[in-house]
């Protein structure tokens, strides 16, 4: 039980009025009318009301001191988190030379498109080079024996054409690969195809194909922006949005940057290819490029003050809050010569009198220089150097912004603040996510005792999980396990935050992006015990496919009941929305047919469930594994993910 906060004065309005009336006979005996209608009593009540307000403010002093105590022990409100998204820049035409979109290019929403009337500003984080692609290789890979065949010459001269999928009997996993001399990372790639209508049998609007690139660890999906070829069956063009990751890979003894199209299993009720599509010609070009942007504005070099030569000086930048600094965002002190860059530190504990250190508070934007501290033995020590009297203090640059206001919708960032040669427009094809407002004082007061109770060291499994969640708003769940026996290491399984409806969640969405991996690793390194190695990875996602036969009442639309049942299953078997409490499927919790039956019976329109079967599902190949089962076990390193449910309604 927490200690109750004392009230410095507990008198109420009525207590003050009664006390004043009791003193009337002593100080003014001739005043005999003490009724409410008397003007003197009205004045007493007026002053009692004003006194009560003063006492209320006095009783807030313990609360104010509580906040000061949290400041003293280093509990500061978290600064706002920055929203991020991918911006796609479109070229005016296909060019033979590279076009560069420099870092810190600013793109805004139109007035009124954001959460307020003021435009929301995003800035690109890196240089974007939009270069012409150089296609140099073409190969086919069969799924069964992984046989690689070089078809580059056949594709170049187009005498007989090239079959995209080389297996005699088409197999799921057959692939057609294109090798490039340079990386396509972030490119908007146009592939012009000359093809024959031999791959008949598929829905041209939804062909069973997946475009992928190699990112150094595995094949990741490439978004198809437009496809007029009907699944490589007729002349047309395919526009692909290549992710910002694309690495070199050796395929068939040939090192290149590979892009492939892979044959998938058709969705239930959809046909597949009867024969392989056949290409007679292929040309590639770049229409634009994609780069990451964040909700921030960059401020160039800014003078923040002049030193007066005293310890503990503080100077603030003009814009706040300030985002975490990059390597080139530092404080410089100019003293009778060239400016010297100083080093930012978290605190001055280990700083000596000659160390050019400073701290930079992100929330207030205040730069602090080292204080002078007196110790119990009478000695005085300077923690951090003092800029010389009269020296000019400036910052090379900094970025400010952040907050939930930056979570703008898709296709809203369309206005460039400055024109760029050969660039006709820009757009965010996906929503911006990750923006969070700064922590309020009330939230910091709740977090303070928890932080003091658990400390800032990662000792227990709960400490590692808590620190992982605190490292970034993009971390949704974390599970800590011992990595091995007696080797002083731990394994941390992280589930990233995936936006959107659960029905849109795919296996690749749960991969940890390199920036998030670095953020988690850096945060844990600062708090782990010396000698403890931390391995951060994702859980193994076990696909689960449910096949159910349900009965509905008369007058109930079967299609609507089926869709409700499918939605319920997809949400229930999910790492983020699943489980009995809807907070994500629990680690170590098996799934059984009885629980699924109970879930389906709760769906509006379902009268009874005749049968519910569970299948293990390979999320990579898109195939069910083995026979139906009543229970699917889950080990400590895994989580369930929905895949290809089937519900029959009668």
Phi, psi of 177 (to 5 degrees): -115, 140
Q: What is the mean pLDDT of residues 527-539?
A: 83
Domain-wise residue ranges, the chain: 13-59, 79-295+404-438, 311-401, 456-537, 540-649
Mean pLDDT of 353-363: 91
Query: Bridge-partner residues for 399, per DSSP?
Result: 298
pLDDT of residue 62: 65
Residue 295 · residue 435 · CB < 8 Å = yes
Residue 130 class from Cβ within 10 Å (0-12 exposed, 13-18 middle, 19+ buried)?
buried
Q: 230: closest CA among 198, 274, 268?
A: 198
For residue 115, what pLDDT band results from cuts at 50, 70 and 90? very low
Task: Name the most confidently modeled range: 23-32, 291-300, 557-566.
Answer: 291-300
606-625: pLDDT as tens digits: 888 888 889 988 887 778 88
pLDDT attached to residue 462: 80
Q: pLDDT-derived band of residue 2, with 50, 70 and 90 as boundaries?
A: very low
8 Å CB contact between 110 and 161? no
The CATH number fitting domain 456-537, selected from 3.30.1490, 3.30.300, 1.20.1300, 3.10.20: 3.30.300
Task: Answer with the residue of higher pLDDT: 198 or 379.
Answer: 379
**3-state class (DSSP) for residue 179:** strand
Distance, CA of 618 to chain centre: 26
Nearest to 519 by CA among 98, 144, 174, 82: 82
Measured distance CA(497)–CA(538) in Å, rounded: 12
Q: How far apart are CA 29 and CA 76, in angstroms?
A: 58
Given a cut of 60, whether residue 486 has pLDDT beyond it is: no
Please state, in angstroms and rounded to a whole number, the distance separating the CA atoms of residues 615 and 159: 46
Contact present, 428 and 408 (Cβ < 8 Å): yes
pLDDT score, position 179: 94
Residue 314 burial by Cβ neighbours in a 10 Å radius (0-12, 13-18, 19+): middle
The CA distance from 162 to 280, in Å, is: 6
Q: Residue 339 has what pLDDT?
A: 84
| Low-confidence winner among 94-108, 345-359, 476-490, 537-551 (lowest mean pLDDT) | 476-490
375 pLDDT exceeds 70?
A: yes
pLDDT in tens, 433-460: 888 888 877 777 777 776 666 566 677 7
3-state secondary structure 118-151: CCCEEEECCCEEECCCCEEEEEEECCCCCCEEEC
pTM exceeding the 0.75 threshold for the entire prediction: no
Higher pLDDT, 454 or 149: 149
Q: Greater confidence, 526 or 258?
A: 258
Question: Taking Cα atoms as reference points, which of 262, 218, 227 lies closest to residue 507?
Answer: 218
Decide if pLDDT at 560 tops 60.
yes
Q: Please say if the pLDDT value at position 347 is more than 50.
A: yes
pLDDT digits (tens, 9 = 90+) for 419-429: 899 999 999 99
Which residues contact residue 371 at a Cβ distance below 8 angstroms, ignoring those fewer than 6 apart? 311, 312, 348, 382, 383, 384
Mean of all residue pLDDT scores within the chain: 85
Give residue 638's pLDDT. 87
Rounded Cα–Cα distance for residues 467 and 460 (Å): 11
User: How would residue 362 be classed by pLDDT, with cut points 50, 70 and 90?
Assistant: confident
DSSP H/E element including 314: strand 314-316
Give the mean pLDDT of 249-257.
91
Report DSSP letters for 321-371, one per residue: SBPPP-TT--EEEE-SSS-EE-EE-S-STT--TT--EEEE-TTT-EEEE--
Direct distance between the N- and C-terminal alpha carbons of the chain, in angstroms, rounded to an integer: 57
pLDDT(499) > 80:
no
- Mean pLDDT on 176-186: 93
Highest mean pLDDT: which of 309-318, 497-506, 604-613? Answer: 309-318
Distance (Å, rounded) from C-alpha 48 to C-alpha 26? 19
Torsion from C-alpha of 46, 50, 51, 53, nearest 10 degrees: 140
**What band does 161 get if pLDDT is binned at 50, 70 and 90?**
confident
Q: Strands 646-649 and 540-552: what pairing?
A: parallel
Instruction: Give yes or no for residue 586 having a pLDDT over 80.
Output: yes
Bond into 321 cis (ω within 30): yes
The alpha carbon of residue 420 and the mean position of all alpha carbons in its chain are separated, in whole angstroms, by: 29
Strands 331-334 and 340-341 come out as antiparallel
Q: Which two tokens stand for residue 518?
A: 């670095």
The per-residue pLDDT for 503 is: 79
**36 confidence band (pLDDT: 50, 70, 90):** confident
pLDDT for 188 beyond 90: yes
Q: What is the mean predicted confidence (pLDDT) over 461-483? A: 83
Structure tokens at 226: 């437009």
For position 190, what pLDDT does the model report?
95
Looking at the DSSP assignment, which residues form a beta bridge with residue 359? Answer: 368
Average pLDDT over residues 151-160: 79
According to the model, what pLDDT value does residue 368 have? 94
State the pLDDT at residue 114.
45
């Amino acid at each position: 039980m927490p200690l109750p906060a004392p009230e410095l004065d507990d008198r109420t309005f009525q207590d003050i009025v009664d006390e004043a009336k009791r003193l009337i006979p002593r100080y003014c005996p001739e005043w005999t009318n003490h009724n409410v209608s008397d003007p003197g009593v009205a004045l007493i009540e007026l002053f009692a009301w004003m006194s009560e307000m003063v006492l209320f403010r006095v009783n807030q002093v313990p609360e104010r001191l509580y906040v000061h105590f949290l400041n003293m022990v280093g509990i500061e409100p978290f600064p706002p988190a920055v929203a991020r998204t991918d911006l796609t820049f479109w070229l005016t035409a296909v060019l033979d030379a590279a076009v560069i979109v420099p870092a810190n290019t600013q793109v805004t929403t139109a007035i009124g498109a954001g959460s307020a009337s003021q435009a929301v500003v995003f800035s690109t984080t890196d240089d974007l080079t939009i270069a012409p692609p150089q296609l140099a290789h073409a190969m086919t890979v069969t799924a069964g024996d992984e046989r690689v065949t070089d078809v580059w010459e056949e594709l170049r001269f187009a005498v007989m054409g090239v079959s995209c999928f080389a297996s005699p009997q088409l197999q799921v996993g057959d692939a057609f690969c294109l090798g490039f001399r340079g990386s396509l990372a972030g490119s908007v790639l146009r592939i012009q195809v000359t093809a024959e209508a031999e791959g008949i049998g598929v829905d041209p609007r939804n062909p069973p194909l997946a475009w992928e690139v190699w990112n150094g660890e595995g094949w990741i999906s490439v978004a198809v922006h437009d496809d007029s070829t009907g699944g490589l069956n007729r002349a047309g063009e395919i526009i692909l949005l290549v992710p910002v990751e694309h690495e070199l890979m050796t395929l068939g003894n040939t090192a290149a940057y590979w892009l492939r199209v892979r044959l998938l299993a058709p969705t239930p009720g959809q046909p597949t290819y009867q024969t392989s599509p056949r290409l007679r010609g292929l040309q590639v070009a770049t229409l634009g490029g994609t780069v990451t942007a964040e909700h921030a504005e960059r401020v160039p070099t800014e003078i923040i003050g002049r030193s007066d030569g005293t310890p503990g000086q503080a100077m603030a930048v003009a814009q706040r809050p300030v985002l975490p600094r990059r390597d080139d965002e530092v404080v410089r002190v100019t003293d009778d010569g060239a400016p010297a860059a100083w080093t930012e530190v978290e605190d001055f504990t280990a700083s000596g009198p000659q160390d050019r250190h400073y701290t930079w508070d992100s929330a207030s934007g205040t730069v602090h220089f080292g204080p002078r501290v007196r110790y119990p033995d009478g000695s005085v020590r300077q923690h951090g150097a003092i800029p010389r009297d009269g020296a000019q203090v400036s910052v090379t640059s900094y970025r400010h912004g952040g907050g939930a206001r930056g979570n703008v919708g898709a296709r809203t960032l369309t206005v460039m603040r400055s024109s760029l040669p050969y660039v006709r427009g820009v757009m965010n094809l996906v929503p911006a996510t990750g923006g969070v407002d700064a922590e309020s004082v009330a939230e910091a007061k709740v977090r303070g005792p928890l932080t003091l109770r658990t400390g800032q060291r990662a000792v227990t499994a709960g400490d590692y999980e808590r620190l992982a969640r605190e490292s970034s708003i993009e971390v949704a769940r974390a599970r800590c396990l011992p990595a091995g026996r007696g080797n002083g290491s731990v394994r941390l399984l992280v589930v990233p935050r995936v936006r959107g409806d659960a029905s849109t969640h795919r296996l690749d969405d749960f991969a940890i992006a390199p920036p998030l991996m670095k953020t988690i690793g850096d945060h844990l390194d600062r708090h782990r015990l010396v000698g403890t190695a931390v391995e951060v990875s994702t859980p193994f996602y076990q696909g689960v496919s449910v096949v159910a036969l349900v009965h509905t009442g008369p007058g109930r639309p079967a299609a609507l009941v089926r869709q409700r049942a499918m939605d319920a299953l997809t949400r229930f078997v999910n790492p983020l929305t699943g489980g009995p409490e809807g907070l994500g499927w629990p680690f170590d919790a098996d799934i059984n047919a009885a629980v699924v039956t109970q879930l389906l019976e709760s769906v509006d329109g379902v009268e009874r469930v005749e049968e519910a079967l569970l299948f293990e599902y390979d999320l990579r190949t898109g195939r069910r594994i083995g026979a139906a089962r009543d229970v699917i076990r889950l080990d400590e390193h895994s989580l369930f993910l929905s895949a290809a449910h089937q519900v029959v309604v009668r």
